[in-house]
Structure 1
Amino acid sequence: LWNFFKALILRWCILYFEVSQHFLKEICQTYTNRIYFATIYDQEHRIPISSAYLYNKGGKNCGSDSWFLEAMNLKNKSMMEEPRVTTEEQKKSQAVSEDDKNIYHYDQGHLSPCMHHTDEGKKIAMFTLTNVVPEFKELKNKEWSHYENQEMEKFEKGCYKTHVIVGVVRGENIKKK
């Protein structure tokens, strides 16, 4: 799945969104030394472009009190809890919580939402800042929420495994508060 996903997304990103391949980072999202999903990440704009994962209806009980940083430029291979004060080194390679705090009418939207997973470790792994994008609150709370919850169940019916590839279109007109 990873090789297919990588080839498809890299070709697609460069062709349609003029994203320089130089800034794209392939991430195997790892928590407690276990890989849970794959992400193509734009380090220049500090936003995930696309993620791939296996869907399993996970139900409720999603949420984490903590956000995690991906270990892509750190010595440890697993993501780590975001410190209260992030360093410039961390900000060079990925999003940090303060990036989205002052964006008007937006909320953090997960590319790979925790309700699509049954494993508790995988649910926690969804709370990495390399898995979230600014998403219109209205869209997140209505149409997209319906899609994430009800529509995905329809796609899964009759399938042994459901592979999901989801991506974003990065906007240029995000308004700050």
Structure 2
Amino acid sequence: MSHSTHMRSSIGALVLLLSCFDNLVFGELSQDFSKCRNFFYKGTPPRGVNALGYEPICQCFKNQFRFATMYQRQHRTPLYSAYVISSADEKSPLFKRPISWMYEPQLAFSHGNTEMKTFDRLVDKNVMKSQAVPQDYKNSGYTRGHLNPSMHQNTRDDRVATFTLTNIVPQRQDSNLELWKSWEENVLKMFKAFCEGPMYVITGVMPYANGARWIKNRVYVPEYMWSAYCCPSYKAKLPLFPTYAAVGRNDRNSGEEIVPVNPNARTALRGYDVRMMPLNTLEGILAQRLNMPISLFEGRCQ
């Protein structure tokens, strides 16, 4: 076994040892990510997220933590999800998307379970009040956009766990299935080709600068998607390491001050461009748009 394979196996074993029910009190949303800090570089979540209403969730599925999400209950969407990327085993069975989506009982009930659950046919009013439900996305004109994409996970259970609506934002189809997907695929390729240890990823959203957008007056629509990775151990000296980032347009009619439009893109995709950039450029954009001086990775992943 190579050194890099051993490191990735060790990380996987660590995650498996973190039992949700051994570490979390039933029905109590944590005030921080203390139970799932392993999904952040050096165990340190992004600094500077100081707005009211954000709730940290250690995302639990089958009694194991799978990733971490900073959730906004009033928006019924996450601000970001953080995870450790792992490449799928090419020999593993083909993954099929789960038929049913999931929700967080701990957001809906004072004594709710900390483990995500599949939606019932009749959605409880407390669930509907606290978070997005499948009906919100039906005929909305938006797809369900993953912040932690299933393609970045290895085991079937890790992939299934990404299909909770607390990991989802309203995303235009041509962004979700085309240009933003290409960014996600490129990150996975770089991980496989150049990382010699874990790759920490944080993916989130930016609201509109002027006037909120909603689907069905319930779920907040982002103007931009953003993502950054941290790979502290990598092969040789490479320009896109140890960190790099990107911002993607989720509205083809947005201005071009953050992400310019490629006039040569085919018509269907024009306006959903993705701009790659250094980490500090992304953090500067987030500080201005979110009005929060966010630092995504401890020590800038050095």
Specify the TM-score bucket, using the shorter chain as the normaliser.
0.7 to 0.9
Cα-to-partner distance string for 1:116-161 (whole Å, 9 max, x where unaligned): 0112111110110101111111111211111111333214523300
List runs of 5+ in structure 2 lacking aligned partners.
1-36, 217-302
For the aligned residues, what is the CA RMSD?
2.0
Q: State the Cα distance separating 1:92 from its structure 2 match.
A: 2.1
**Which position in structure 1 is the counterpart of 2:186?**
150
TM-score if structure 2 supplies the norm length?
0.51
**Which position in structure 2 is the counterpart of 1:61?**
95
User: CA–CA distance in 1 between the matches of 2:202 and 2:187?
Assistant: 15
Cα-to-partner distance string for 1:102-126 (whole Å, 9 max, x where unaligned): 322x211100011101121111101
**Which position in structure 1 is the counterpart of 2:163?**
127
**Which position in structure 2 is the counterpart of 1:38?**
68
Q: State the Cα distance separating 1:31 from its structure 2 match.
A: 0.6
- The share of aligned pairs that are identical, in percent, is 31
Residue 47 (structure 1) aligned with residue 77 (structure 2)? yes
**Which position in structure 2 is the counterpart of 1:110?**
146
User: CA–CA distance in 1 between the matches of 2:207 and 2:133?
Assistant: 17
Larger relative contact order, structure 1 or 2 (CA cutoff 8 Å, min sep 6):
1
The counterpart of 1:89, out of the listed 126, 133, 143, is 126
Opposite residue 134 of structure 2, the aligned amino acid is: S
TM-score if structure 1 supplies the norm length?
0.84
**Which position in structure 1 is the counterpart of 2:197?**
160
User: CA–CA distance in 2 between the matches of 1:121 and 1:69?
Assistant: 16
List runs of 5+ in structure 1 lacking aligned partners.
15-19
Contact 1:51 1:166 in 2 (8 A): yes
**Which position in structure 2 is the counterpart of 1:4?**
44
Q: Which moved more, 1:88-97 or 1:37-46?
A: 88-97
User: CA–CA distance in 2 between the matches of 1:159 and 1:109?
Assistant: 29
